[in-house]
Chains A and B, each alone.
Chain A
Amino acid sequence: MAELDETGSKLTLKLVYYGPAMSGKTTNLMRLHDILAPDLKGEIMTLETQNDRTLFFDLLPLGFRTPSGWLVKFKLYTVPGQVVHDATRKAVLSRADGVVFVADSQRSQGINNSESFQNLEDNARRVGLDFGALPIVVQFNKRDLPDVLSEDEIRERWAAAPWPLVMASALTGTGVRETFVKLLEAVYPALDRNFSLSEKHGTDAKAFINAVTGDRIGNSG
């Protein structure tokens, strides 16, 4: 859960990009690093093996200051998708405030997607997260590839699920920002409830999202 530091002026949020191996979680983070222009943006830290597979995680820090002077920090993590790294996934997922599930749209990846989503649900329970209340956005990535499930097929399959669906192509940047914004929208209500962001810190949902994405407040419409 979001952490308020001991001085009471710094709020740290953890957002996790989850999904099967090679579905484009790291690519999402890299595009976000390029696209977003918040007040504060750190360098991407990647911990990968020789062949560009994520070993532990990637980390992108973002942040902004509220009109009241609070520092709100976002730590965007990816998990390693390979099945063997389950302990790492569990460690990264613990205390997450929101999750983007990056699915691979290719027809051949259906089983990997569902196994990974099941794994997300299992691990969420293991680390003590309330899966029903956890803000989740499901992104279907790699729309640019041939032989992918059609958007209609995907929407039909996920019709019963409560989470927003976003079609994306992280490689070209399509849908990456929309996914992130959808997640911020899902995360904001709990934050506002716990820390009165709107009332005490002059940061309503729109200002919150604009501040993280880098759109000037009042200038996004």
Chain B
Amino acid sequence: MEILARGYDSTLSLRELLSGISPDKLSAALAILLDAPARVVSADGAWVMNDTHPLPENACRLPLVHDLETAGYLETAAADEAQVRAAANLLELFMQSGARYFMASEMHIEVVKADYEELQRRHAALMASEARYKALAENLEERVKEQVNTIESAHRKLYQAEKLASIGQLAAGVAHEINNPIGFIRSNLGTAQSYVQKFRSMAGQIKSSGNAALAGAWQAADLDFVLEDFPSLLQESVEGADRVARIVSDLKGFSNVDQAEEEVVDLNDCIRSACNVAANQINSRAELKLMLGELPPLRCKVGHLSQVFLNLLLNAAQAMEKRGEIRIQSSIENDQIVIRFSDTGCGIPAEVLPRIFDPFFTTRDVGSGTGLGLTVSRDIITDHGGSIEASSEPNTGTTFIIHLPINRRSP
């Protein structure tokens, strides 16, 4: 139950000031002390204590003062002024005592209420804090797991980055070392081919020279076959050397050995030129559909991005088991350039999909791919502040989506 406090400093009426005293006993005591009937009347006359005896006309009337003001009157027929004065003083003392009690109790109520409110406030704060800790305790395991996952994932990424960096360094070194010898091997092979031609032109002369010993030795050494086989051997070696050169060039791309210059271009032009380059390999296998939306000019490493597009196109072409369709879309979505390469090829099995960007990962026969094409592509896109993702449905097709930010840096 709520106790209504009036306030310790509210103004008190005469009745309230005398509320602790029995009116009958007080009246009886006053009558005996004054030796005459007496009554107490409030200042406004609304309340009268002991109204039983009518007072005579000549009754005297003394103010009863409380808190500097007249709160009521003592009316009595008594004649002795000193006695009446004493009785009034007595009543004022009662009133003062009543006021003291009233103020103390009101203040008590106020203080208790304030203390109680403060307690409730603290209690509520404690409950809230307890609930918070309870919730924290309940989620603790989950949050620890989350944290562990975050740390593990960060760790994996770091490890991956380190691995890539060291592979890149290795690749750069290897590429540099191989480049020179493969250069002169390729060149020498070409020269060797021309030398073989010269030998070949000599064969007729030797055979028709009539020198039996020479012809016999020619026969014995089976030089006809040698001259037949030598050019094809050299041709195969040339192709081999070319392949090594191509791998070295891929490796250089992977390790970013040759930093390309940046230019401001329309990526749609890039896509078109990549299509032209790959046209030979594509046309025999698939229908090419370009759906190029308008793109803002982009500052980028054109050579690198062209390489990415070419990689994706050739991959798509090679994925065709029967004649299919390759579709390239470009557009702007959420302030990013988005380019999609979709093919209707054989698709990528789900267990392989997460590894396709790993360096040296390839599903092709040994020798026909370096396993670096997509790795290099991803590094190039990442270098441009973008991202590349693949989604695939086996036997239905694969889609690569490239996101590139437009405002990577001001041109």
Residues of A within 8 A of B (CB): 5, 14, 40-43, 45, 47, 55-57, 59, 61-63, 71, 73, 75, 85, 87-88, 90-91
B114 touches A56 (CB 8 A): no
B67 touches A91 (CB 8 A): no
- B302 → chain A closest CB, angstroms: 69
A88 touches B68 (CB 8 A): no
B68 touches A42 (CB 8 A): yes
Q: Which residues of B contact A63 (CB under 8 A)?
A: 68
B111 touches A73 (CB 8 A): no
Q: For the complex, give the distance between the alpha carbons of A45 and B67 in Å.
A: 10
Among candidates A40, A47, A71, residue contacting B104 with C-beta atoms closer than 8 Å = A47
A40 touches B111 (CB 8 A): no
Q: For the complex, give the distance between the alpha carbons of A43 and B11 in Å.
A: 16
B103 touches A56 (CB 8 A): yes
Q: For the complex, give the distance between the alpha carbons of A90 and B117 in Å.
A: 14
A43 touches B115 (CB 8 A): no
Among candidates A5, A41, A45, residue contacting B103 with C-beta atoms closer than 8 Å = A45
- B5 → chain A closest CB, angstroms: 9
Q: For the complex, give the distance between the alpha carbons of A71 and B67 in Å.
A: 12
Q: Which residues of A contact B99 (CB under 8 A)?
A: 45
Q: Which residues of B contact A43 (CB under 8 A)?
A: 96
Closest partner residue, chain B, to A43 (CB atom): B96
Size band of the B side of the interface? 10 to 19
In the complex, B110 has a CB within 8 A of chain A: yes
Q: Which residues of A contact B96 (CB under 8 A)?
A: 43, 45
Task: State the majority secondary structure of interface residues on A.
Answer: strand
- B4 → chain A closest CB, angstroms: 15
**Known interface pairs A14-B9, A45-B100, A56-B103; A40-B114 also in contact (CB < 8 Å):** no
Among candidates B9, B69, B111, residue contacting A75 with C-beta atoms closer than 8 Å = B9
Q: Which residues of B contact A42 (CB under 8 A)?
A: 67-68
In the complex, B314 has a CB within 8 A of chain A: no
Closest partner residue, chain A, to B5 (CB atom): A91
- A61 → chain B closest CB, angstroms: 5
In the complex, B8 has a CB within 8 A of chain A: yes
Residues of B within 8 A of A (CB): 8-9, 11, 67-69, 96, 99-100, 103-104, 107-108, 110-111, 114-115, 118
Q: For the complex, give the distance between the alpha carbons of A71 and B69 in Å.
A: 9
Q: For the complex, give the distance between the alpha carbons of A214 and B314 in Å.
A: 111
Q: Which 8 A-B pairs have the closest CB atoms?
A: A87-B114, A40-B68, A87-B111, A63-B68, A56-B107, A91-B110, A88-B111, A61-B68
Q: Which residues of B contact A85 (CB under 8 A)?
A: 111
Listed A/B pairs (8) with beta-carbon separation below 8 Å: A5-B11, A40-B68, A45-B96, A56-B104, A61-B68, A71-B68, A75-B9, A91-B110
Q: For the complex, give the distance between the alpha carbons of A43 and B100 in Å.
A: 11
Q: For the complex, give the distance between the alpha carbons of A61 and B114 in Å.
A: 26
A88 touches B107 (CB 8 A): yes
Q: Which residues of A contact B9 (CB under 8 A)?
A: 14, 75
Closest partner residue, chain A, to B101 (CB atom): A47
Q: Which residues of A contact B69 (CB under 8 A)?
A: 71
Among candidates B67, B111, B118, residue contacting A61 with C-beta atoms closer than 8 Å = B67
Q: Which residues of B contact A73 (CB under 8 A)?
A: 67-68
Q: Which residues of A contact B67 (CB under 8 A)?
A: 42, 61, 73
Q: Which residues of B contact A57 (CB under 8 A)?
A: 107
Q: For the complex, give the distance between the alpha carbons of A150 and B8 in Å.
A: 40
Closest partner residue, chain B, to A47 (CB atom): B104
A91 touches B114 (CB 8 A): yes
Q: For the complex, give the distance between the alpha carbons of A71 and B9 in Å.
A: 17
Q: For the complex, give the distance between the alpha carbons of A73 and B67 in Å.
A: 9
Q: For the complex, give the distance between the alpha carbons of A90 and B99 in Å.
A: 21
- B305 → chain A closest CB, angstroms: 66
Q: For the complex, give the distance between the alpha carbons of A85 and B137 in Å.
A: 39
Known: A47-B100, A55-B104, A71-B68. 10 other contacts (CB 8 A): A41-B68, A42-B68, A43-B96, A56-B8, A56-B103, A56-B107, A61-B67, A63-B68, A87-B111, A87-B115
Which has the most chain B C-beta neighbours within 10 Å: A75, A88, A90?
A88
Q: For the complex, give the distance between the alpha carbons of A62 and B67 in Å.
A: 9
Q: Which residues of A contact B115 (CB under 8 A)?
A: 87
Q: For the complex, give the distance between the alpha carbons of A1 and B257 in Å.
A: 84
Q: For the complex, give the distance between the alpha carbons of A205 and B11 in Å.
A: 27
Which has the most chain B C-beta neighbours within 10 Å: A5, A59, A62?
A59
Which has the most chain A C-beta neighbours within 10 Å: B9, B103, B104?
B9
Which has the most chain A C-beta neighbours within 10 Å: B68, B96, B103?
B68
Closest partner residue, chain A, to B112 (CB atom): A87
Closest partner residue, chain A, to B8 (CB atom): A91
Q: Which residues of A contact B103 (CB under 8 A)?
A: 45, 47, 56, 59
Closest partner residue, chain A, to B110 (CB atom): A91
Q: Which residues of A contact B111 (CB under 8 A)?
A: 56, 85, 87-88, 91
- A99 → chain B closest CB, angstroms: 16
Q: Which residues of A contact B11 (CB under 8 A)?
A: 5
Q: For the complex, give the distance between the alpha carbons of A88 and B110 in Å.
A: 8
Q: For the complex, give the distance between the alpha carbons of A14 and B11 in Å.
A: 14
Closest partner residue, chain B, to A85 (CB atom): B111
Q: Which residues of B contact A5 (CB under 8 A)?
A: 11
Q: Which residues of A contact B114 (CB under 8 A)?
A: 87, 90-91
Q: For the complex, give the distance between the alpha carbons of A45 and B154 in Å.
A: 76
Q: Which residues of B contact A87 (CB under 8 A)?
A: 110-111, 114-115, 118
Q: Which residues of B contact A90 (CB under 8 A)?
A: 114
Q: For the complex, give the distance between the alpha carbons of A102 and B96 in Å.
A: 27
Q: Which residues of B contact A59 (CB under 8 A)?
A: 103
